[in-house]
A and B are shown apart, each in its own frame.
Chain A
Amino acid sequence: MGLIANSKKRLVWVGLIVLVFGVLWSWPASEADSKPPEILLPSQLEYVGTLRSAADVTPKPGFFKKMVKKIVGLDDRDRAMLMPYGIAVDSQGRVLVVDTRERQIHVFDAQRKKYKTFHAPDREPFAAPIAIDTDADGKIYISDSVRARIFVFTPEFKFIRTLGGINKDESIFKRCTGIAIDKKNARLYAVDTVAMNIVTLSLDGKVLNRFGKPGDGPVEFNYPTQIAVAPDSTLWVMDSLNFRVQHLDPSGTVISAFGRLGDAIGEFDKPKGISLDHQGRVYVVEGRNDRVQVYSPEGNLLFFFGHTGNGDGEFFLPTGITVDREDKIYVADSYNRRVAIFHARSGTTGAATGGGQ
């Protein structure tokens, strides 16, 4: 009897010890982990996470490898990007982030747990890479505003050529910034911010069309910057200093426009990147006010997210934006040196209640 009671007691003790260990084991490493992030997000979105450095996608190295890296000075796993701008997600699900300041592209491959960077060759270097997109074959196109060229790479990041150069010094662009590729029709649209027009190119660099001129009328621009192509091949152009978005058909005829100058929610102060999701909603990055404003195709403001700060869901001068095939939203949060990722819930019209109904 006593023996059984004793062994029972022992069992309880062992259980307790295991429990304590278990709890300690699963105890969060830091305060930050233990607190659920208090992110103010509209009901249409959920927060996914951020990409800042290799550590966000690659597995933790073993002890030995870590020591070696530390000794030889290669331990840059946690080194964040410098100034992310353009973002593209290719058909393999790799997130390609243009770092304008570091003049290279960061490749985050979460599926294969890989991270790498690439840049242009020394004979044809980057000066200020801005925007990025991929074509149907996975080839990568990167605009460089200072070099006024578009750099083309293979899906394996091998440099192929540049587009737009007439000779060594001259280019068809004055300053090419935003680019967008219509994968279906193999068309590349490049925004020339200084010439204030849009250039339509074939994917081998032939100029097919050029439209727009300075002004504030239809198909007139005042320093246009970014561009997005919709699934129906229409174009959405950020006409930045007219503080509006112009919706154009592929030939450059205006369909509609929306936006106005101001710093209230829904207005444009320093509008930057533009992208579209599956539902055709238009995402506009409002850089000055550190938020992303989302509109219906008719230009009605639907919701917004983000505010100034460096916490989760906060921005400090957000710039580029892209929405991938899974409706994941990637925002280049430039001064926070990271890319913030959100997910647009499908089919929701939003469920916020309270006032205003």
Chain B
Amino acid sequence: MRARIIFALVLVIAVAAAMKVSAAKTKQFITNTKHDFRITSSASIHSTSKQDVCMFCHTPHNAASGSMIWNQKLSQREFPTYNSSTLQSTITPINAQDASKLCLSCHDGTIALGDTQNEGLIQFVQGTSYALPPTSPSNLAGTGSGFADDHPFGFVPKRTAEIHDPPPGDAVHLDSNGKVQCTSCHDPHQESVDPISDKFLVKSNDSSQLCLSCHSTQGWARSAHSRPTDLVEDMRYTTTQGAHTGYAGVTKNGCESCHRPHSAQVGERLLKLSEENTCYQCHDGSVTTLNIKSEFVKTYRHPVQTVSGIHDDSESPTSTLYPMPEISPGAVRHAECMDCHNAHYANNTPGQAPIVSGALLGVKGQSQGNSYLPIANNEYEVCFKCHADSANRPQATDNGTAGIGFGRNPQRQFDAGNPNKSNTRMEFTFGMSYHPVVKAGNLASGPGGLVPSLRQAPVSPGGLPLPNRVLNSSSYIYCSDCHNSDTGRNLGLGTNSVAGPHASNIPHLLERQSMLETPPALPGKTSTGVPFSVSNYGLCDKCHDVQNSILRNVSFKYHSTHTQNDGAACSTCHDPHASSSPMLINFDLSIVSPNSAGQLSYLQTGPGHGTCNLACHGQDHKSAVY
């Protein structure tokens, strides 16, 4: 027994000794690194006299600080530390026990590099009291923001779903108090463990391996940002485009494609650039072939570039600063890239309506029941964040009835006194008839009866079926089946331009034309209408066969009279979202008015039959039966 214990002890000592030897061996590389200040050092910053590499930082006796027998004078200044609205850990001030305090002697720029405890002020090539200037990338305090634009250090990280301890044996480590220190990521004695970045990193940060020692950002493993599918595109991300690590490609730059652990331009969340500009490093056509930036010059667009500083990642119903849905009607409307895209999750997986496609993965949403979703399942839930119950939703403030041509937001039959008239969530969830965005169609059995004009699949403007889409009584459609780019590959034209509801030159951010009539002087009076052509209603024709069904009067025997002969627009009678009448009937009140008996109504009496009371285009319909 005793022999066994002795054997075990010997083994432990042997292993410890071996480890010590190996540690001592690997740390000899300080010579000629940027931390080598000897007169003979090849570093550009060095002393004019000293031969001893250690003494600039360490001393055998009379140390400034007990830990690490520190010879450098200690910094006395305090600087603001990192903070963000989504920070979960508590960032504590750097105190004397933190190893990081020692690094700050030089790296906050307050102490001269040669200002030692025991050797006095050592002369440097750069001058006697040379301290790192605020403009130096090595000066963490920088020009004013202090450490607020640096990854926090000297604190105990809170373990969350996305933060874990470095695995045992990992070069990245917490100190004996469980704190993140400079030394968690940096080894001051070895500059080139990662020879590409050359930042004294404890291990290679190729593809952000170092960051991933603690960060397990959700969605990252399947994101196109960690695994770009197009390697040619990937390799276009170089120093010119903003890569700062020395690595080329988004794969290898990893987190640092968008973030910077030190001297980040946007301190909060350590972003390299503000808002969309981070994304435009690549998505302006310079790295990715698709140019999303150029979309936002179109007339009808999400206010990505025009509004800044409003979005915050903590937006939620419980946030007092950033409530979502918005409670103040006067709040500035914003839409940033990250409102619809989560760069950690996003990839190019196609979606099955109404489920989010890869582009919208991992984004917050608002459900059809108006509850907050940390991660939206369905595309409409992303849209509902702003276009449903938010008090400043865009439609709510657009009440113009005068009509401004084709950009008009019509006041309709059922709008009067309806607080939910512009709440798309209420429309799609509670409408009597509706387009199948939130719920599958009520075509087969509902009061609307069948929709004979429905195509078997949505078609391109040229009439070719879009791949992998089927239309029937149980299919869903996306918001973006109508609201989408007017030039993108969503049109199925074989083009490879940006898809998605970023912007369009067609009013209401539609992907194809759906004309509105220009109102006459008085509703109900003669109107010139819209000169009929199928392409004027290309949007409707995408799913409803205008040529072979609508114009042939299959569902309503006066369709062609109304549209082709008299120039009525689809939208004059139909509300494209939903209606309290069957068949999406909800008259545009700037075109249609009550009849001479003061009645305005549509009554469906059976499939293909109904009664209308209204005046339109100078025609008085009194109990007009069809």
Indicate whether A352 sits within 8 Å of B472 (C-beta atoms), given known contacts A264-B378, A267-B377. no
Verify A354–B469 contact, CB threshold 8 A: yes
* Chain A: CB-nearest residue to B511: A355
- Annotate B446-486 by CB proximity to A: 1 below 8 A, 0 otherwise: 00000000001010000000111110101111111100100
Verify B218–A298 contact, CB threshold 8 A: yes
Q: Is B44 an interface residue (CB 8 A)?
A: no
Stretch of B353-361, B404-412, B579-587 that contacts chain A: B353-361
Give the chain B neighbours of A298 by CB distance below 8 A: 218-219
Verify A303–B500 contact, CB threshold 8 A: no
Stretch of A36-44, A78-86, A328-336 that contacts chain B: A36-44
Give the chain B neighbours of A303 by CB distance below 8 A: 352, 355
* Chain B: CB-nearest residue to A258: B375
Give the chain B neighbours of A351 by CB distance below 8 A: 350, 467-468
Instruction: Identify which of residues 362-388 in chain B touch chain A, using a CB-to-CB cut-off of 8 Å.
Output: 362, 367-369, 371, 373, 375, 377-379, 381
Indicate whether A353 sits within 8 Å of B467 (C-beta atoms), given known contacts A303-B355, A304-B355. yes
Give the chain B neighbours of A26 by CB distance below 8 A: none
CB of A17 to closest CB in B, whole Å: 37
Give the chain B neighbours of A43 by CB distance below 8 A: 350, 352, 468
Q: Is B490 an interface residue (CB 8 A)?
A: yes
Tell me the count of chain B residues lying within 8 A, CB to CB, of chain A: 51
Verify B468–A356 contact, CB threshold 8 A: no
Verify A352–B480 contact, CB threshold 8 A: no
Give the chain B neighbours of A262 by CB distance below 8 A: 367-369, 371
Give the chain A neighbours of B141 by CB distance below 8 A: none
Give the chain A neighbours of B474 by CB distance below 8 A: 40, 307-309
Give the chain B neighbours of A356 by CB distance below 8 A: 351, 353, 356-357, 359-360, 379, 478, 480, 500
Q: Is B399 an interface residue (CB 8 A)?
A: no
Give the chain A neighbours of B475 by CB distance below 8 A: 40
Tell me the count of chain A residues lying within 8 A, CB to CB, of chain B: 29
Q: Is A20 an interface residue (CB 8 A)?
A: no
Verify B355–A266 contact, CB threshold 8 A: yes
Verify A353–B468 contact, CB threshold 8 A: yes
Verify A355–B481 contact, CB threshold 8 A: yes
Give the chain B neighbours of A296 by CB distance below 8 A: 222
Q: Is B185 an interface residue (CB 8 A)?
A: no
Verify B484–A301 contact, CB threshold 8 A: no
Partner of B490 from the list A267, A304, A307, A354 (CB cut-off 8 Å) is: A354
Instruction: Identify which of residues 204-222 in chain B touch chain A, using a CB-to-CB cut-off of 8 Å.
Output: 218-219, 222
CB of A283 to closest CB in B, whole Å: 15
* Chain A: CB-nearest residue to B471: A40
Q: A264-B368, A352-B469 are in contact. List 17 more A-B contacts (CB 8 A).
A: A43-B352, A264-B369, A300-B361, A301-B377, A307-B440, A309-B474, A349-B350, A350-B350, A350-B351, A351-B467, A352-B467, A353-B466, A353-B468, A353-B490, A355-B379, A356-B359, A357-B499
6 contacts between A and B (CB under 8 A): A38-B456, A43-B350, A262-B369, A353-B467, A354-B466, A357-B357
9 smallest beta-carbon distances between A and B, as pairs: A266-B377, A355-B478, A355-B480, A355-B481, A356-B357, A307-B474, A301-B377, A352-B468, A42-B352
